[in-house]
Amino acid sequence: MTKRYWYVILTYIAVQFSGVVFAPLLYFLTPLSEADAIIYWTIISFIAGLIVILWIMKPEIKTSNQRTTVNWGYNIAWAIGGLFMAYFAQGIATTIETKLLGITAGSENTQMIMEISRATPLFIIIPALIAPILEEVIFRKIIFGELYKRMNFFFAALLSAFIFAIIHGEPEHILIYGSMGFVFAFVYVKTKRIIVPILVHMSLNSIVVILQLSLTQEEIEKMMRDLEQMQMILIGG
């Protein structure tokens, strides 16, 4: 792995843990409440982390753009197809978790993010825009990319998807996160452009944010039941 990639990973880790030191400092120096200090430092650190990582990756991005011609029609088609594949994979994973493993549907992580977003709308830029870029660079371009150099696609995608799932902190939903990570890796291999899984990831997260903010809990549950029934029909259930 190149030094550039290690710098990117270290930057990502710094973003994740910087709040331990700087959120209390922001709380001490400003009139913000403790909770608001944590939220605003999270926003600041993610934006700063994105800028630093894009700067670190700038030479590679420039080289990639010079080496190949971008076929935007092809990439957009894969981005749209990847979104449907991600939903399909997520539906199968959800069915396995709920029907076979008895795991309660719903993500505490998602609920926490949405509660914060309702209280501080600016926070929406993290799950909808910034996090997908950071995660795709880390887990697909770097981790999956390095694994793919050493093993076949299936095992490289499976292992990187497992790491992607674990890092989200909800081991009970490892199948859901892992299935999405696998699809993102597949789209990346097919297009050879990290921007495509980034677009799929952004779209997936943005749709969740929009639905969570615009629908009631009852409407969301009804929609999930309808999607589950459709999923069962598609897979022959």
Q: Report the catalytic residues.
A: 135, 168
Write the CB contacts of 153 (distance below 8 Å, at least 6 apart in sequence).
Answer: 185, 186, 189
104 Cβ contact list (under 8 Å, min separation 6): 98
Q: Whose CA is closest to 96, among 185, 172, 198, 20?
A: 172
**Is the Cβ–Cβ distance between 150 and 160 less than 8 Å?**
no
- Cα Dmax for the chain: 59
